[in-house]
């Protein structure tokens, strides 16, 4: 496969993974980030995020804070943040600023490849603003915690552009992966990204409603979703109930799609319902806690939390449902101690939770233990020891991770979300 000179703008989850994996495919990659300490660390081979397989690839690209080093690039992949703005739409100020900074640097013909998740119409807008540059929408579908694996073995590579030659050249960069390539116009590519994330959000809110229903009727949501997942049209993935769906993507992308739909006069009710269910979910968990702790409420009650990140396998705390639950419990006066294998003790980022580095400190004096992230290592904790340290015997398992029979043998009562 031919090697090309590639620039990557942004060295976060997407940019760093893209840069490292494109270098792994044999391309000459220069990765630019404005975060000087991050760039200095990357130059020393330090990986700033928890991503299996990234450490082995991090030495592939060159890292710099100087945009001028992109002057020779044939392609520049834009991988900068597009956070939620007020009113739900994507805030493109950082994205636009980052792209504008390339203007004095890039030579005519350099392909602008948009990997950031951007509202429908963004690639067209860029193509008008950059008449000397082909623009390609190439949304990214990687999951945190599986970033390298997902990049190197993608379900699909989406290439959206009105410039056929640039689309072909961009698709060729991925030739080594042997993945299905979907060539399309830019609007379909941009919408396909939002459509995928919002679909996952809809599905998860549906499962969380089912879990509530299961508790009411004495059914078991694990069995219900297993039956659903055996239907090939439904499939088994992404059917686990939990304390809500979070992270840096699903919430902001669902809100942005709902906002775009509303702005275009398309009824966003379905999307808004999924968001509303999700916003209710921390309250549902708090209700379960109140039910076991007693009628006097949570004021001054010690609770132990297991898991603080937005899902297992990542240290990312952005929009973590675990923290949404924690804030909810703290607002009712609960005193919270939390353990997460990816969160250092005393981390200020998880306030109002006091983060500790030992699960037994979570159990000590706790009226109840609440499992909020599905770290597999929680199944192997010494539950008999934790039972001895806790005041109460209830373990509220919002991830349905633990074996209730095993906990029972340790003198604990496991209450899985969604019944059992």
- Asked if residue 239 binds ligand UPG (CB under 6 A), the reply is yes
Which structure tokens are listed for 136?
């390609």
Q: Strand order in 394-397's β-sheet?
A: 354-356, 335-339, 302-306, 368-371, 394-397, 413-416
Restricted to residues 182-221, the positions that interact with ligand UPG (CB under 6 A) are 197, 200, 204
Residue nearest to ligand UPG (CB): 249
**Preceding peptide of 352 cis, ω within 30°:** yes
Number of residues that bind ligand NAD (CB under 6 A): 27
Q: Which of 110, 117, 161, 208 binds ligand NAD (CB under 6 A)?
A: 117
Site size for ligand UPG, by CB under 6 A?
21
Contact status: 222 vs ligand NAD (CB under 6 A): no
Closer of 122 and 347 to ligand NAD (Cβ): 122
- Residue 322 near residue 304, CB atoms below 8 Å: no
117 is known to lie in a ligand binding site? yes
Asked if residue 391 lies in contact with residue 302, where contact means CB atoms within 8 angstroms, the answer is: yes
For residues 198 and 253, the answer to whether their CB atoms sit within 8 Å is yes
Annotated binding-site residue? 364: no
Token pair of 176, please? 């080594």
Catalytic, 214? Answer no
Write down the least CB distance from residue 390 to ligand UPG, Å.
25
CB of 408 to ligand UPG, least distance (A): 25
Query: Binding string, 61-80, against ligand NAD, x = CB under 6 A?
Result: ------------------xx
For ligand UPG, which is the closer residue by CB, 224 or 387? 224
Nearer to ligand UPG, 242 or 282 (CB): 242
75 labelled as ligand-binding?
A: no
The rounded distance, in Å, linking the Cα atoms of 132 and 129 is: 9
Residue 116 contacts ligand NAD per CB under 6 A: yes
Does position 81 interact with ligand NAD (CB under 6 A)? The reply is: yes
Q: What are phi and psi of 9, to 5 degrees?
A: -105, 115
Residue with Cβ nearer ligand UPG (141 or 206): 141
Assess 94 for contact with ligand NAD (CB under 6 A): yes
Interacting stretch for ligand NAD, rule CB under 6 A, among 33-41, 214-222, 338-346, 411-419?
33-41
Residue 220 marked as a ligand binder:
no
Shortest Å distance, C-beta 392 to ligand UPG? 26
How many whole angstroms separate alpha carbon 305 and alpha carbon 247? 18
193 is known to lie in a ligand binding site: yes
61, 81, 186, 242: which one contacts ligand UPG (CB under 6 A)?
242
**Does 140 engage in binding with ligand NAD (CB under 6 A)?**
yes
Q: Does 142 bind ligand NAD (CB under 6 A)?
A: yes
The one of ligand NAD, ligand UPG, none whose footprint includes residue 197, by CB under 5 to 8 A per kind, is ligand UPG
Answer for which of 134, 246, 268, 304 binds ligand UPG (CB under 6 A) is: 246
310 binding partner (options ligand UPG, ligand NAD, none; Cβ < 5 to 8 Å by kind)? ligand UPG
- The answer to whether residues 246 and 204 touch, using CB atoms and an 8 Å cutoff, is no
Q: Judge whether 197 and 172 are in contact, CB under 8 Å.
A: no
To the question of whether residue 103 is assigned a binding role by annotation, the answer is no
337 labelled binding-site residue: no
Question: Which residue in 190, 215, 240, 340 binds ligand UPG (CB under 6 A)?
Answer: 240
Position 190 contacts ligand NAD (CB under 6 A): no
The answer on whether 314 is annotated among ligand-binding residues is: no
Report the interface residues with ligand NAD, using CB under 6 A. 9-15, 32-35, 38, 79-82, 94, 97-98, 101, 116-117, 140, 142, 144, 248-249
Instruction: Cite the active site residues.
Output: 249
Report the interface residues with ligand UPG, using CB under 6 A. 117, 140-144, 197, 200, 204, 238-240, 242, 245-247, 249-250, 310-311, 321
């Amino acid at each position: 496969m031919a090697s090309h000179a590639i620039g990557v703008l942004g060295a976060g989850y997407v940019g760093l993974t893209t840069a490292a994996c494109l270098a792994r495919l044999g391309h000459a990659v220069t990765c630019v980030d404005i975060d000087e300490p991050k760039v200095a660390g990357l130059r020393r081979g330090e990986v700033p995020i928890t991503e299996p397989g990234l450490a082995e690839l991090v030495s592939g690209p060159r890292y710099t804070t100087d945009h001028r080093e992109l002057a020779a690039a044939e392609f520049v992949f834009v991988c900068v943040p597009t956070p939620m703005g007020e009113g739900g739409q994507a805030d493109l100020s950082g994205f636009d600023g980052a792209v504008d900074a390339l203007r004095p640097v890039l030579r005519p013909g350099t392909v602008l490849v948009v990997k950031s998740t951007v509202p429908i119409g963004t690639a067209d807008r860029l193509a008008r603003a950059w008449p000397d540059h082909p623009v390609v929408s190439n949304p990214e579908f990687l999951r945190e915690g599986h970033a390298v694996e997902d990049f190197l073995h993608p379900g699909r590579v989406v290439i959206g552009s009105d410039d056929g030659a640039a689309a072909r050249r961009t698709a060729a960069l991925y030739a080594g992966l042997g993945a299905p390539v979907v060539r399309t116009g830019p609007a379909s590519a941009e919408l396909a990204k939002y459509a995928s994330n919002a679909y996952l959000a809809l599905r998860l809110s549906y499962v969380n409603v089912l879990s509530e229903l299961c508790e009411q009727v004495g059914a078991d949501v694990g069995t219900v979703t297993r039956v659903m997942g055996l239907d090939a049209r439904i499939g088994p993935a992404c059917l686990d109930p939990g304390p809500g769906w979070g992270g840096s993507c699903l919430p902001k992308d669902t809100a942005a799609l709902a906002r775009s739909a509303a702005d275009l006069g398309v009824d966003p009710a379905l999307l808004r319902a999924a968001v509303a269910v999700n916003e209710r979910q921390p309250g549902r968990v708090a209700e379960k806690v109140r039910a076991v702790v007693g009628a006097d409420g949570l004021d001054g009650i010690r609770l132990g939390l297991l898991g603080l990140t937005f899902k297992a396998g990542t240290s990312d705390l952005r929009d973590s449902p675990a923290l949404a639950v924690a804030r909810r419990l703290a607002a009712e006066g609960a005193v919270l101690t939390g353990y997460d294998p990816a969160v250092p003790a005393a981390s200020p980022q998880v306030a109002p939770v006091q983060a500790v580095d030992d699960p037994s400190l979570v159990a000590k004096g706790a009226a109840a233990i609440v499992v909020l992230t599905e770290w597999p290592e929680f199944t192997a904790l010494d539950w008999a020891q934790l039972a001895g340290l806790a005041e109460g015997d209830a373990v509220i398992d919002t991830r349905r991770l633990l074996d209730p029979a095993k906990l029972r043998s340790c003198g604990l009562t496991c209450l899985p979300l969604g019944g059992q």
